[in-house]
Amino acid sequence: MAAILRITGRRRVEGDVRAAGSKNAALPMMAAAILADEPVLLAGVPHLLDVDTMGRILRELGVEVLWDEDDTVQLRTVDARPVRAPYRLLRRMRAGFCVLGPLLARRGEAVVALPGGCAIGPRPVDLHLAGLKALGAEIELRHGYVVARARQLRGATIRMAGPDGPTVTGTANVLSAAVLAEGVTVVEEAAIEPEIVALGEMLGAMGAKIDGLGTSTLRIEGVARLGGVIRRIIPDRIEAATLLLAGAITGGTVRVAGVVPEHLSAVCELLGRAGCQVMADGNAVTVHAADRLRGVDVTAEPYPGVPTDLQAQWMALLAVAEGQSTVRDTVFPTRWMHVPELIRLGARIDQFDDRAVVHGAARLSGATVTASDLRASAALVLAGLAAEGTTTVRAVHHLDRGYERLDLKLASLGAEVRRM
């Protein structure tokens, strides 16, 4: 039987908690281990369903995946012949597609299923494929798989932005392929998310030559081989922000340690505008909730803006804030599947094609709701924390894909959350 979360709301969430390692950084970094001639050791890897899935994909591709300690993973290629990443695993998450670039660059061939993941709107991979074609790969689509071949990739100038902005996973794929390409590759309009910087710094520590990390233009000088590396995964800014929002929506004070405050600057600025007190202290951020939250307009956009992976959680908070708020998502403009479930809890939301208007100060009441995707599940948990009575969140396997036992962390802060 699938697990559910049962939440008794109207409990103030308060205290100290530590952020886990970043899922969105760990997955492409694990995939990049394919490029190495020697073992790769990653510390701070979160225990998540998506991490488990990436481990299974890598084992299919001849990579030994060993958990040395609670959060440390050692990856070592033991068989460089496999090149097929199957649909039965790729259908579970989009980030599995990040093996395409490393496979192609290291083994000369990649047969990778078109990806699945959360149902949050169309996410084409055309920019991934165009970038790899520019590096000299021959690519065809066959029976739901991308088949890519190249005896030797060669440097090129590549543009990684589409109509909705730069592609993060596309940048990861092209960057991971270009480090072993002959000559110089220039990636224009590259994603600048901290997770891409973390991947680039890992590749640099393995011997890659990359300039421009953290900017929209990357210059990569190809090398003949990459060695092993020991790296620590950066903190998960999405989990950290979700915990801060839990404090705000319940009227509590929450301190999240083990973070990079700069990665949370857009979220902290919005929390301040909503009336909260927000303080950064070293590697921790504290939010002290306002007596009455104020509505704010939220636009999800590429870094350093508010992440699309927090759009749903913000909508839950705005449902109980004073005033009217408008929510837009420039990254996934149709990411609204959480709206009907929030309405079931009493939120007053008008949904349009390109935006949602939240009429705040709703008195949420507990109900049974079903998560449609990873971040929608977090939004329903937040709404349940603020709702009167009991909220039952179904399909929490979505939550477990990207949050390391969020229920236990919230319980440690005083929330009444039970997994059943």
Q: Which of 172, 204, 232 is the last residue of a domain?
A: 232
Verify that 119 and 249 share a domain, yes or no.
Answer: no
- For the record, the structure tokens of 416 come out as 């009444």
Same domain, 177 and 43: yes
Q: State pTM to two decimals.
A: 0.96
58-91 residue pLDDT tens: 999 999 999 987 899 999 999 999 999 999 999 9
Write b or e for each residue in 287-296: b if 16 or more Cβ atoms lie within 10 A of its Cβ, otherwise e.
Answer: bbbbeebebb
Single out the residue in 193, 210, 232 at which a domain terminates. Answer: 232
pLDDT in tens, 161-194: 988 889 999 999 999 999 999 999 999 999 999 9
Residue with structure tokens 């699938």?
2
Q: 399 and 282: one domain?
A: yes
Of 251, 240, 317, 252, the C-alpha closest to 285 is: 240
Q: Do 89 and 145 belong to one domain?
A: yes
CA distance 226 to 90: 26
Quickly list H helices, 214-304.
Answer: 237-249, 265-273
Q: Are residues 228 and 275 in the same domain?
A: no
- Assign 119 a pLDDT band (cuts: 50, 70, 90): very low
The count of structural domains within the chain is 2
Q: Does 414 lie in the same domain as 354?
A: yes
Is the domain of 349 the same as that of 317? yes
Do the bridges between strand 157-159 and strand 184-188 make them parallel or antiparallel, or are there none, so unpaired?
A: parallel
For residues 226 and 239, membership in a common domain is answered with: no
CA distances from 399 to 122, 329, 339, 395 (A): 21, 21, 17, 8
pLDDT band with cut points at 50, 70 and 90 for residue 117? very low
Residues 259 and 224 in one domain: no
% of the chain residues with pLDDT over 70:
98
How many angstroms from the chain centroid is the CA of residue 291?
A: 31
Domain boundary, last residue among 232, 250, 267: 232
Predicted local confidence at residue 5, as pLDDT: 97
- 42 three-state secondary structure: strand
Question: pLDDT (tens digit, 9 = 90+) per residue, 211-226?
Answer: 999 999 999 999 999 9
| Residue-number span of the structural domain to which 398 is assigned | 5-19+235-419
* CA separation for the pair 345, 317 (Å, rounded): 13
Distances (CA, A) of 210 to 177, 189, 202, 407: 12, 15, 11, 40
Q: Are 290 and 164 found together in one domain?
A: no
How would you class 88 by CB atoms within 10 Å of its CB: exposed for 0-12, middle for 13-18, buried for 19 or more?
A: exposed
Q: Are 129 and 122 in contact (CB under 8 A)?
A: no
Contact (CB, 8 A) for 308 and 334: no
| 273, 162: one domain | no
Q: What CATH number is attached to the domain comprising 275? A: 3.65.10.10
CA 64 to chain centre: 24
Strand 40-43 versus strand 72-77 pairing type: antiparallel
Contact 190, 167 (CB under 8 A): no
Q: How far apart, in whole angstroms, are the C-alpha atoms of residue 9 and residue 71?
A: 32
Asked if residues 247 and 287 have their Cβ atoms less than 8 Å apart, the reply is yes
How many other CB atoms are found less than 10 A from the CB of residue 52?
A: 14
pLDDT tens for residues 301-334?
999 999 999 999 999 999 999 999 999 999 988 8
Give the catalytic positions in this structure: 118
- Tell me: do 364 and 249 sit in the same domain: yes
379 and 358 Cβ atoms separated by less than 8 Å? no
**pLDDT at 94 (0 to 100):** 83
Q: What is the mean pLDDT of the chain?
A: 95
List pLDDT tens digits, range 341-360.
999 999 999 999 889 999 99
How, if at all, do strands 63-69 and 138-142 pair? unpaired
First and final C-alpha spacing in the chain: 10
